[in-house]
Amino acid sequence: MLARSTVGRSARRALRCQCQLGTVPLGGRRGLAAPASGSFSYETGDAAGIKVASRDMAGATTTLALVAKAGTRYQSLPGLSEALEKYAFKGTEKRSALRIQREVELLGAELQSYHTRENLVIGAKFLRDDLPYFVELLSEVVTQTKFSPHYIDEELNRLMSISHKSHLANTESMALDSVHGIAFHRGLGHPLKPTTSLPYSQYISVETLSAFNDAAYSKGNFAIVANGAASGELAKWVGEYFGEAPTISYKLESGQSKYYGGEERIAHGGGNTMIIGFPGSSSLTGGFYKPEISVLAALLGGKSTIKWSPGFSLLGKAGASIPGVKAATKSAIYSDAGILYSVMSGNADGVAALAEETVKAVKAIAAGEIPKEDIAKAVALAKFKELDFGQNVQNGLELTGSGLIQQGKPYQVDDSAAAIGAVTEEQVVQAAKTLLENKASVSTVGDLFRLPFGEDLGLKV
Amino acid sequence: MSAPSIAPFVLKRPWLSRWMIPLANWYADLSGYRKIGLRADDLIPEETPIVQQALKRLPPKEAYDRVFRMRRAFQCSLTHQLLPKEEQTKSEDDVPYLSPLIAEIEAEIKERKDLDALIVSRK
The answer to whether the Cβ–Cβ distance between B114 and A2 falls below 8 Å is yes
The answer to whether the Cβ–Cβ distance between B108 and A102 falls below 8 Å is no
Q: Judging by beta carbons within 10 Å of its beta carbon (0-12, 13-18, 19+), is residue B110 exposed, middle or buried?
A: exposed
Q: Tell me the residue range of the domain where A228 lies.
A: 43-242
The answer to whether the Cβ–Cβ distance between A23 and B122 falls below 8 Å is yes
For chain B, say whether A15 makes contact (Cβ under 8 Å). Answer: yes
Q: Are A219 and A301 in the same domain?
A: no
Q: Are A235 and A270 in the same domain?
A: no
Q: Which one of A4, A12, A15, A158 makes the best mutation probe of the B interface by having the most chain B beta carbons within 10 Å?
A: A15
- Residue A49 near residue A217, CB atoms below 8 Å: no
Would residue A32 count as lying in a domain? no
Q: What is the pTM of this model?
A: 0.84
Which of A:86-105 have CB within 8 Å of B? 96, 98-99, 102
Position A7 scores a pLDDT of 47
Cα(A48)–Cα(A237) distance, integer angstroms: 10
SS3 assignment, position B77: helix
- Residue A210 near residue A183, CB atoms below 8 Å: no
SS3 assignment, position A62: strand
Q: Which helix (H) or strand (E) holds A366?
A: helix A348-366
Q: Which helix (H) or strand (E) holds A86?
A: helix A80-87
Domains and CATH numbers, chain B: 32-116 (1.10.1090.10)
Mean pLDDT of chain A: 87
The answer to whether the Cβ–Cβ distance between B115 and A98 falls below 8 Å is yes
Residues of chain B with Cβ-Cβ distance to A2 below 8 Å are: 114-115, 118
Would residue A345 count as lying in a domain? yes
For chain B, say whether A4 makes contact (Cβ under 8 Å). Answer: no
Q: Are A315 and A279 in the same domain?
A: yes
Position A283 scores a pLDDT of 83
Pairing of strands A61-68, A50-55: unpaired
Single out the residue of A204, A382, A391 nearest to residue A291, CA to CA: A382
Cα(A443)–Cα(A343) distance, integer angstroms: 10
**pLDDT of A193-232, one tens digit each?**
999 888 888 999 999 999 999 999 988 899 999 999 998 9
Would residue A373 count as lying in a domain? yes
Q: Are A267 and A222 in the same domain?
A: no
Residues of chain B with Cβ-Cβ distance to A19 below 8 Å are: 120-123
pLDDT at A17 > cutoff 70: no
CA-based nearest residue in chain B for residue A18: B122
Rounded alpha-carbon distances, angstroms, from residue B55 to A16, A276, B34, B63, B67: 41, 52, 21, 7, 11
- Residue A271 near residue A397, CB atoms below 8 Å: no
Q: Give the closest-approach CA distance of A20 to chain B in angstroms.
A: 8
Which of A:132-171 have CB within 8 Å of B? 149-150, 153-154
Cα(A334)–Cα(A286) distance, integer angstroms: 8
Q: Judging by beta carbons within 10 Å of its beta carbon (0-12, 13-18, 19+), is residue A79 exposed, middle or buried?
A: buried
Q: Are A147 and A273 in the same domain?
A: no
Would residue A26 count as lying in a domain? no
Beta bridge partners of A223: A51, A67
Q: Are A303 and A434 in the same domain?
A: yes
**CB-based contacts of A279, cutoff 8 Å, min separation 6:** A183, A259, A261, A337, A338, A339, A340, A435, A438
- Residue A181 near residue A440, CB atoms below 8 Å: no
The answer to whether the Cβ–Cβ distance between B115 and A150 falls below 8 Å is no
For chain B, say whether A287 makes contact (Cβ under 8 Å). Answer: no
Alpha helices in A199-270 (DSSP H): 206-216, 231-241
Single out the residue of A68, A94, A72, A78 nearest to residue A208, CA to CA: A78
Say which CATH number the domain at A293 has: 3.30.830.10
Number of cross-chain residue pairs from A and B with Cβ atoms under 8 Å apart:
36
Rounded percentage of chain A residues whose pLDDT exceeds 70: 91
- Give the type of residue at A448: L
pLDDT category at A25 given cuts 50, 70, 90 is very low
Query: Of A184, A207, A242, which marks where a domain is finished?
Result: A242
Ranges A381-395, A402-416, B78-92: which has the least confidence: A402-416
Q: Is the dihedral of CA A32, A33, A34, A37 positive or negative?
A: negative
Cα(A159)–Cα(A168) distance, integer angstroms: 14
Query: Cβ–Cβ contacts within 10 Å for residue A22, how many?
Result: 9
Q: Are A220 and A109 in the same domain?
A: yes
Beta bridge partners of A121: A67, A114
The answer to whether the Cβ–Cβ distance between A102 and B115 falls below 8 Å is yes
The answer to whether the Cβ–Cβ distance between B57 and A150 falls below 8 Å is yes
Q: Are A294 and A158 in the same domain?
A: no
Would residue A390 count as lying in a domain? yes
Q: Give the closest-approach CA distance of A62 to chain B in angstroms.
A: 24
Q: Give the closest-approach CA distance of B8 to chain A in angstroms.
A: 20
- Residue B1 near residue B48, CB atoms below 8 Å: yes
Q: Are A169 and A284 in the same domain?
A: no
- Give the type of residue at A429: V
Nearest CB partner across the interface for B118, out of A1, A149, A154: A1
Would residue A254 count as lying in a domain? no
Q: Are A229 and A319 in the same domain?
A: no
Would residue A8 count as lying in a domain? no
Cα(A406)–Cα(A118) distance, integer angstroms: 10
Query: Of A242, A270, A292, which marks where a domain is finished?
Result: A242
* Total count of domains within chain A: 2
The answer to whether the Cβ–Cβ distance between B114 and A98 falls below 8 Å is no
Cα(A373)–Cα(A350) distance, integer angstroms: 28
pLDDT at A81 > cutoff 70: yes
Query: Of A192, A209, A242, which marks where a domain is finished?
Result: A242
Would residue A449 count as lying in a domain? yes
Q: Are A345 and A216 in the same domain?
A: no
pLDDT at A19 > cutoff 80: no
- Give the type of residue at A252: L
Q: Are A384 and A295 in the same domain?
A: yes
Q: What is the 3-state secondary structure (H, E, C) of A386-398?
A: HHHHHHCHHHHHH
Alpha helices in A369-451 (DSSP H): 372-391, 393-407, 413-421, 425-437
pLDDT at A26 > cutoff 50: no
